Amino acid sequence: MSTLIKNVLVEGKKRNIYIEGNVIEEISGTKSSKAAEFVIEGKDKAAIPGLFNAHTHAGTTLLRGYADDMQLQEWLETKIWPVEAKMTEDDVYWGTKLACLEMIKSGTTFFNDMYWHWRGSARAIAESGIRAALSAVFIDNFDEGVANEQMKRNEALYEESKKQVERIIFTLGPHAIYTVSEESLCWVRDFADKHDLLVHIHLSEIKEEVEDCIKRYGLRPVEFLDSIDFLSPRTIACHCVHLSRKEMELLKKHDVKIVHNPTSNMKLSSGRMPYEELKRAGLHSNIALGTDGCASNNNLDMFEEMKIASLFQKAFSGDTTCLPANETFELATRNAAKMFRLNSGVIAEGKLADVVLLDLKKVELVPNHNLTSNIVYSANGSCVDTVICDGRILMEGRHVEGEDEIKDKAKEIAYELVR
């Protein structure tokens, strides 16, 4: 399969982009024109890399707007967990279909997920054409029997994942240090080492997590994970809000990857990830950006997340130069590609063909003094016109195959679940 995008802006210059299979084969002047199966007119459009949502729980789109503005523990115990307990594999399939649809419509071509019913999510991702790192939630609540079940389930899913489409990366998803026992965390460490897997975990999200960890283990969360040799360059630590200087040094020492989730942190009043301090510790290129789940965001629009990240950091550091537009854009593209070991995150020859075309006629993008500034501070998901992932056109002129059916079915399931 081949696609030619004609007369499109690439870093300020008019270019033709020729895609062969799932790779950007050639970026050339607009005169040279290779014959391709599909031709997209790129006039008044700009090509940017597909955005990366580095931490989410896609199935929770079904809970969008179901319960907000509550105390965290009450919110989880009386609203979120009871509904999640009722969810079937098919429910998660439709919830993830809805999430993939929303991500495609807002220019996201990759997401890093942790949710129940792995198979339901995998099926939705395979069909949608999007790329994802997919973990099952590993929670044992310090119960040995449950821990053994979880290990067996993950071993089975890992084997199963080898038969899945290549766009799906199997990862391990130990939920957090307060829901997973030390023994299980050590099992995760060994299994991940043996099979070279990424490990997706929530870390130091709220103050109570740090206090409980000190009570249980006599150490702060990052120190504890260091003490059991859990940390590695394959660790994807989400949130990282409450960190001591020593913990930042440990994260740097082990080359740990970090995901900032500003909207969720603000909505759940968790605190702020110390971006400038992590940058000073030499971790800037290790940080990516995520929306977290729809129950605590409440959407998956990475344009919105970029703006909020930048403003959040500025507001709380008192420094207007903190997290500027170009760095923010890197969190959602280049840094995340490195984190997930993907040859993408920029528009260049030889890279994976995960390409988004922005509609430069959208009022939010006029005038175009500086595209990166417009992307981070002014645009929103509706400025995306075309989305290509793995060389396949998933949206053109904002049309996505099967959109109405996905919305209708997800709505029906969501209402049924909360009835």
- Residue closer to Zn ion (CB basis): 137 or 225: 137
CB of 292 to Zn ion, least distance (A): 5
Least Å distance, CB 56 to Zn ion, is 7
Smallest distance, Zn ion to C-beta of residue 261, A: 7
User: Does residue 3 contact residue 36 with C-beta atoms inside 8 Å?
Assistant: yes
| Interface with Zn ion: number of residues (CB under 5 A) | 1
Whose Cβ is closer to Zn ion: residue 8's or residue 87's?
Answer: 87
Query: With CB under 5 A as the contact rule, which of the stretches 16-24, 159-167, 285-293, 389-397 interacts with Zn ion?
Result: 285-293
Question: Which of the stretches 11-19, 31-39, 95-103, 289-297 binds Zn ion when contact is defined by CB under 5 A?
Answer: 289-297
Say how many C-beta atoms besides its own lie within 10 A of residue 10's C-beta: 18
Least distance in Å: CB of 147 to Zn ion?
A: 21
User: Which one of 17-25, 214-222, 280-288, 290-298 is the stretch in contact with Zn ion (CB under 5 A)?
Assistant: 290-298
State the minimum distance, in angstroms, from the CB of residue 175 to Zn ion. Answer: 9
Q: Interface mask (CB under 5 A) for Zn ion, residues 63-102, using x and -?
A: ----------------------------------------
Residues 359-398 that bind Zn ion (CB under 5 A): none
Tell me the pairing of strands 51-56 and 108-115.
Answer: parallel
Provide the minimum distance between the beta carbon of 63 and Zn ion in the complex, in angstroms, as a whole number: 13
Q: How far is the CB of 70 from Zn ion (least distance, A)?
A: 17
For Zn ion, give the closer residue by CB, 91 or 292.
292
Closest by alpha carbon to 135, among 182, 202, 73?
202
Residue whose tokens read 């940080």:
287
Helix axes 144-161, 182-195, angle to 10 degrees: 20
Cα 80 from Cα 57, distance rounded (Å)? 12
For residue 241, give the amino acid letter.
V
Q: CB-wise, 140 or 292, nearer to Zn ion?
A: 292
**Contact of 134 with 122, CB cutoff 8 Å:** yes
In the complex with Zn ion, which residue's Cβ is closer, 184 or 270? 270
Q: Which is nearer to Zn ion, 287 or 360 (CB)?
A: 287
Q: Quote the CA–CA distance of 55 and 112 in Å, as a whole number.
A: 5
Question: Binding Zn ion by CB under 5 A: which of 140, 226, 292, 354?
Answer: 292
Shortest CB 188 distance to Zn ion, Å: 17
Q: Nearer Cβ to Zn ion, position 292 or 359?
A: 292
Q: Does 113 bind Zn ion (CB under 5 A)?
A: no
- The strand pairing partners of 136, in sequence order, are 115, 172
Stretch touching Zn ion by CB under 5 A, among 102-110, 120-128, 162-170, 288-296: 288-296
Q: Which is nearer to Zn ion, 176 or 248 (CB)?
A: 176
At its nearest, how many Å lie between Zn ion and the CB of residue 199?
14
State the residue number with the nearest CB to Zn ion: 292
Interacting span for Zn ion (CB under 5 A) from 4-12, 188-196, 207-215, 284-292: 284-292
Cβ proximity to Zn ion, 42 vs 173, nearer residue: 173
- The residue among 239 and 392 lying less far from Zn ion, judged by its C-beta, is 239
Least distance in angstroms from the C-beta of 279 to Zn ion: 23
Query: How many whole angstroms separate alpha carbon 270 and alpha carbon 206?
Result: 5
Interacting residues toward Zn ion by CB under 5 A = 292
